Amino acid sequence: MAFVFLTGCVSTDPAEVAEDAIATANEIPTASIDPMPTPPAEDDEDDRERDASDAESDSALRMLYELDVKGRAPKTGYDRDLFGWRDDVDRNGCDTRNDVLRRDLADITLQSGGCVVLAGSLTSDYTGDTFDFIRGSGNNIDIDHVVALSNAWQTGAQELSYSERVELGNDPVNLLAVESSVNRSKGASDAATWLPPRKSYRCEYVARQIQVKHDYDLWVTPPEFDAMEGLLLDCDQDSFGDDVWPGRGGGDVTSEPLYEPEEEPVSRAESGSSGGGVYYKNCTAARNAGAAPVHAGDPGYGKHLDRDGDGIGCE
């Protein structure tokens, strides 16, 4: 899938941040937040004239002009689980969060035999700051949906099939590793109420949003359209290639794994097994049985197989 971005822009849970958190005004680096969403209406199609003659073919600006412009639909029925976030959509054996971490972090350390990121360094697209990834209770990196899932729900995603929503929720173009604090400040805001603090990344950020909305037949609200158009008119236009995941075990891996596969026998009591009669001494046994990865609640799952405690053993 080819998608469009803009030149002049530098690209680079356990704690899962509530996407719908509302940021306070002094946390927002751009316009203040309108506390009320655009009122939904069935016949509120925007009839403004949009001159696409100066927009390059397949550019973000051209795609913006091809989007419907109307008010948000009600949020009734919204649930993040409807988007299958973190599913292994590409079947590479790694969940989406770790795919993003392996793509966006440098100098990463992987769990032995899998693709769970244990350590690494991030240079944030949103701020330009560089810092080390802290895994566990001190987690300082979130995976941001560039088009927030609740925003997507209110601008057409509730009309998609489940498989289409899962694809949207795990699309590489719509996902970036960023600081948890910045992700909280964004919440579920659109481009009319929040833009990255790093001004040189705003063109690409808005282009990503437009690409996602264009690919999944979502719409934009009138204030969102105005904010996007105003920004893009000051940006150069160009096309970029696919934003894909590294393969299993791939990424910028430079460090030695912290863990080795379990070799010594482990008793059922020590393992914390909840396998319902199925027991694997170690991950080698689980893989030989074709059972890896083993998820919490699955036959054979045990804490001795889940070294990082994320609910997935033998990743």
For the segment 26-35, the average pLDDT, to the nearest whole number, is: 39
Does 280 score more than 50 pLDDT? yes
Instruction: Convert the pLDDT of each residue in 161-173 to its tens digit.
Output: 999 999 999 999 9
**pLDDT at residue 295, rounded to an integer:** 74
**pLDDT at residue 9, rounded to an integer:** 40
| CA gap 162, 83 in Å, rounded | 7
**pLDDT at residue 38, rounded to an integer:** 44
- The band of 67, judged by pLDDT with boundaries at 50, 70 and 90, is very high
Does 214 score more than 90 pLDDT? yes
Instruction: Convert the pLDDT of each residue in 114-128 to its tens digit.
Output: 788 999 999 999 999
In 10 A of CB 128, how many CB atoms?
A: 15
For 204-252, give the DSSP string. Answer: HHHHHHHHHHHHTT--B-HHHHHHHHHHHTTS--EEE----PPPTT-SS
**pLDDT at residue 246, rounded to an integer:** 83
- The band of 258, judged by pLDDT with boundaries at 50, 70 and 90, is very low
- The band of 59, judged by pLDDT with boundaries at 50, 70 and 90, is confident
| CA gap 169, 287 in Å, rounded | 29
Q: Is pTM, for the whole model, over 0.85? A: no
For the segment 275-302, the average pLDDT, to the nearest whole number, is: 70
**pLDDT at residue 4, rounded to an integer:** 46
Instruction: Convert the pLDDT of each residue in 89-106 to its tens digit.
Output: 888 888 999 999 999 999
| CA gap 124, 248 in Å, rounded | 23
Mean pLDDT of the chain: 77
Does 267 score more than 50 pLDDT? no
Does 206 score more than 50 pLDDT? yes
- Does residue 4 contact residue 60 with C-beta atoms inside 8 Å? yes
For the segment 45-50, the average pLDDT, to the nearest whole number, is: 54
Q: First vs last Cα of the chain: how many Å apart? A: 28
Q: Is 278 helix (H, G, I), strand (E, B) or coil?
A: coil
CA dihedral over 88, 92, 95, 97, signed as positive or negative:
negative
Does 281 score more than 50 pLDDT? yes
Please choose, from the candidates 98, 172, 170, the residue with its C-alpha nearest in 3D space to the C-alpha of residue 141: 98
For 165-194, give the DSSP string. Answer: HHHHHT-GGGEEEEEHHHHHHHTT--TTT-
- The band of 283, judged by pLDDT with boundaries at 50, 70 and 90, is confident
**pLDDT at residue 309, rounded to an integer:** 66
